[in-house]
Amino acid sequence: MEFTMRWFGTGYDSVSLEYIRQTPGVTGVVTTLYGTQPGDVWEKDAILAMKREVEDAGLRVAGIESVNIHDAIKIGSAERDKYIDNYITTLERLGEADIHMVCYNFMAVFDWTRSDLAKKRADGSTVMSYDHAVISAIDPNNMSETLYSQSNGFALAGWEPERLAGLKELFAMYKDTDAEKLRENFRYFLERIMPVCDKYDINMAMHPDDPAWPVFGLPRIATDREKLQSILALSDNPHHGLTLCTGSLGTSPANDIPAMIHAFKGRIHFAHVRNLRRAGSHDFEESAHLSSDGCLDMYAIMKALYDSGFDGPIRPDHGRAIWGEVAMPGYGLYDRALGASYLAGLWEAITKAAAVKAI
């Protein structure tokens, strides 16, 4: 288990590596090469420069979040092999740079979805929230503008304006891709990349869909225990695993996250741990990490990670905007640092209680 924070890179993130290093218990970052597009081959020099910058600050690159998948691969179009070749080259270069965990998702068209990036709470903090009625009323073609009007001027991970500029075409491309086809294309992708993951010992950590239900009529294949089980069944290779994202899975009250952690033992390669407060079956707002502030039992989640022997990178996930900080929505320093300290405290207590029991 390694405590990390997500870092978006110099020029993209309001938080410096120096500040991340000052967060108790945090020894690594997960980052990416911002400015690259899904489908690009990552330049060796750029990977090494990013790694050097992180290491010069006294931290470690614990993994990549994310190497995004080109739509041709998800759709299974004629160009997919070219883009899988590019993906493989990027993985080889990451492996050569001694980087061994890659987070990604297999979501159609959109990455995460929210209706409000700065919903005001009673204490004056702001959080990202999701109101299904609002989302259902939005023309998906305007979704990108809606989010960017609230982004404080920061780039939004997974919402590359370059890619989303052709949204109408993207929707048309996905027209014939149902959940079954998406899963089959996923299987094809895994079959091609697993040999390189074996060679360089790279753990692939697929991130579940966020939120855990269909949005804009697009297919969803990673929303609950059963679906994740069938995704894991696409390849028995242990390098094919999951990012356990409590905030994404936790949007659905039907998801018993501690039980899922046990069910996926050995196949969870990365953990995003945060809390949220549900209001009805398809509405929620993000919250502080504490169990008492949301509807997830963070102790039970950390205990399940401990008991199942999880040993990958973990990070606090989105935080609230507090104390006047202006940052990328969800990714300010202050509340994520509080989250990291809280999770580290739970981990210490769980570890020590287990040691006492063992005597």
Give contact residues for Mn ion (rule: CB under 5 A).
Answer: 245, 272
Is 207 catalytic? The answer is yes
Choice between 190 and 205, CB closer to Mn ion? 205
- 33-40 long-range contacts (CB < 8 A, ≥24 apart) are 33/9, 34/8, 34/9, 34/155, 37/160, 37/162, 37/163, 38/68, 38/69, 38/70, 38/71, 38/160, 38/163, 39/70, 39/72, 39/83, 39/86, 40/86, 40/90
For residues 249 and 133, the answer to whether their CB atoms sit within 8 Å is no
| Annotated active-site residue in 83, 130, 197, 207 | 207
| Between 63 and 75, CB nearer to Mn ion | 63
CB of 112 to Mn ion, least distance (A): 8
Question: Is the distance from CB of 87 to CB of 67 less than 8 angstroms?
Answer: yes
Q: Which is nearer to Mn ion, 20 or 271 (CB)?
A: 271
We find the least distance from the C-beta atom of residue 55 to Mn ion, in angstroms, to be: 25
Cα-trace Rg, the chain:
19
Q: Hey, how many other C-beta atoms are within 10 angstroms of the C-beta on 226?
A: 8
Cα(252)–Cα(335) distance, integer angstroms: 24
Q: Hey, what are 278's tokens?
A: 């549900």
* Nearer Cβ to Mn ion (87/104): 104
Q: Which of 130, 245, 289, 342 is catalytic?
A: 245
C-beta of 249: minimal distance to Mn ion in Å?
9
Our measurement of the distance from residue 267's CA atom to the centroid of its chain's CA atoms, rounded to an integer in Å, reads 16
Based on CB atoms, which residue is closest to Mn ion, 314 or 344? 314
Measured from the CB of residue 286, what is the shortest distance to Mn ion in angstroms?
Answer: 11
- Least gap, CB of 105 to Mn ion (angstroms): 9
Cβ–Cβ < 8 Å for 204, 239: yes
Has 100 been annotated as catalytic? Answer: no
Nearest to 219 by CA among 177, 267, 263: 177
336 and 319 Cβ atoms separated by less than 8 Å: yes
- 71: annotated active-site residue: no
CA distance 309 to 93: 29
The Cα 206–Cα 317 span in angstroms is 16
**Cβ 128 to Mn ion shortest distance, Å:** 12
282 is a catalytic site residue: no
Q: Which is nearer to Mn ion, 196 or 271 (CB)?
A: 271
Alpha carbon of 124 to those of 118, 166, 321, 336: distances in Å?
11, 37, 9, 17
Q: Which of 317, 334, 335, 342 is catalytic?
A: 317
Residues that are catalytic: 207, 245, 272, 317-318, 331
